[in-house]
């Protein structure tokens, strides 16, 4: 069961807003908002070096079919780049917005092939109203249904998918790597010419470099297989990180307004674990802390956690935290419950 502190409470909007101020003051005075440039310099440098090393291993292995398995570490390293781009988007790395944007473009568009502008637009709307249907794009209409109303509105193949979505969730994630790249390209259609040239150009350079390396180093069959494995594992890895964070947590009713503390804490779930969990999940296992203070550097979230737990206990707000396996059980259970009326 989720680990919670105290019973749920329903403070007034005025109270909910004022409840956050003492915590914000304490965090600001603690220095946890300070930039950690050394940490991020090491993280980016190591990720680039490891990525180059894996491509070197691909070149060394040649046309052996086992080379295709190197798509797995390439996917894991791509997820690391995505987490670093995420941190740049929240201005955790550099002190200026301009520097963080360029880091996001280089890490996202160039290194990963995922548009920084597209992600920032989508992710910022999610942070502003997590789990709020009609405002949070992560619970909007799509292939999967997040509410019973969405499920009942599905037709044809999508209705069948919604009926079995809990079982199909992880298999569908194998397509997410491609979906992220397509979404990045489609987003540019409504952007300025400058953004189209800059972001689109970097996306093209990534595609040419990535596919060029694969087909230059491997025969066509192995190259295609390597690309497929990398994208499939990357999609599953990212989905496995983001799925436990909000699925199955509170969803505000239409028109319901919560203060910042209540809005971020009640809709988020932490995942317990040590340094391995922190690394695999890019610090997003501290989802409550990240949503309350998105500008706190990833490496400071572990130290922020006890402050937030203590404050939630003091104001009578549930703080939900589970193990990794339990978090998947709860998230998939919510998906199964949403699809139940269609079965």
Q: Which token pair is 94?
A: 């550099």
Q: What global pTM score does this model have?
A: 0.90
Read off the pLDDT band of 8 (50, 70, 90).
very low
**199-221 CB burial, b ≥16 within 10 A, e <16:** bbebbeebeeebeeebeebbeee
- Of all residues in the chain, the percent with pLDDT exceeding 70 is 95
CA distances to 100, 174, 335 from 133, rounded to whole Å, are 30, 25, 15
Residue whose structure tokens are 């009640």: 266
Read off the pLDDT band of 334 (50, 70, 90).
very high
Give per-residue pLDDT as tens, 51-90: 999 999 999 998 889 999 999 999 999 999 999 999 999 9
Contact assessment for residue 51 and residue 209, using Cβ atoms and an 8 Å cutoff: no
pLDDT at 255 (0 to 100):
77
Give per-residue pLDDT as tens, 294-303: 999 999 999 9
Strand, helix or coil for residue 130: coil
Question: CA-CA distance, 282 to 180, in Å (whole number)?
Answer: 18
Q: How far is CA 238 from the centre of its chain?
A: 6
Strand, helix or coil for residue 322: strand
CA distances to 74, 228, 258, 289 from 56, rounded to whole Å, are 11, 19, 51, 38
Strand, helix or coil for residue 9: coil
Question: CA-CA distance, 28 to 16, in Å (whole number)?
Answer: 19
Among candidate residues 293, 266, 269, 271, the one with its CA nearest the CA of residue 282: 271
Question: CA-CA distance, 238 to 76, in Å (whole number)?
Answer: 9
**98-128 CB burial, b ≥16 within 10 A, e <16:** eebbebbbbbbbbbbbbbbbbbbebbebbbe
Kindly give the residue spans of alpha helices, DSSP state H, lying in 145-286.
148-152, 157-163, 165-173, 176-187, 193-217, 220-246, 260-265, 275-280
Average pLDDT over residues 317-333: 94
Among candidate residues 170, 167, 281, the one with its CA nearest the CA of residue 233: 170
Contact assessment for residue 321 and residue 111, using Cβ atoms and an 8 Å cutoff: no
Contact assessment for residue 19 and residue 315, using Cβ atoms and an 8 Å cutoff: yes
């Amino acid at each position: 069961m989720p680990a919670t502190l105290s019973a749920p409470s329903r403070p007034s909007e005025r109270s909910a807003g004022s409840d956050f101020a003492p915590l914000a003051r304490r965090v600001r005075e603690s220095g946890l908002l300070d930039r950690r440039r050394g940490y991020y310099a090491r993280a980016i440098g190591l990720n680039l070096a490891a990525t180059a090393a894996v491509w070197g291993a691909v070149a060394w292995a040649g046309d052996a079919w086992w080379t295709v398995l190197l798509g797995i570490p390439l996917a894991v390293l791509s997820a690391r780049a995505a987490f670093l781009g995420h941190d740049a988007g929240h201005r955790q790395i550099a002190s200026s917005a301009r520097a963080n944007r360029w880091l996001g473009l280089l890490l996202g568009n160039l290194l990963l092939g995922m548009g920084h502008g597209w992600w920032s637009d989508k992710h910022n709307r999610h942070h502003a109203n997590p789990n709020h249907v009609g405002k949070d794009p992560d619970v909007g209409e799509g292939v999967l249904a997040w509410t019973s109303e969405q499920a009942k509105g599905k037709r044809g193949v999508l209705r069948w998918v919604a009926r079995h979505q809990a079982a199909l969730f992880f298999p569908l994630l194998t397509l997410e790597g491609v979906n992220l790249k397509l979404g990045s390209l489609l987003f540019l259609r409504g952007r300025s010419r400058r953004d189209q040239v800059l972001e689109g150009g970097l996306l093209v350079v990534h595609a040419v470099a990535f596919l060029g390396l694969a087909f230059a180093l491997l025969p066509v069959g192995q190259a295609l297989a390597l690309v497929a494995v990398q994208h499939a594992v990357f999609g599953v890895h990212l989905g496995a990180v983001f799925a436990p964070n909000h699925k199955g947590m509170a969803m505000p009713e239409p028109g319901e307004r919560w203060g910042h503390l209540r809005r971020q804490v009640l809709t988020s779930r932490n995942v317990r674990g040590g340094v391995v969990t922190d690394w695999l999940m890019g610090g997003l296992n501290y989802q409550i802390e990240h949503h309350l203070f998105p500008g706190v550097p990833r490496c400071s979230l572990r130290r922020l956690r006890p402050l937030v737990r203590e404050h939630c206990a003091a104001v009578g707000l549930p703080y939900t935290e589970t193990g990794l396996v339990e978090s998947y059980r709860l998230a998939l259970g919510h998906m199964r419950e949403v699809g139940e009326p269609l079965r």
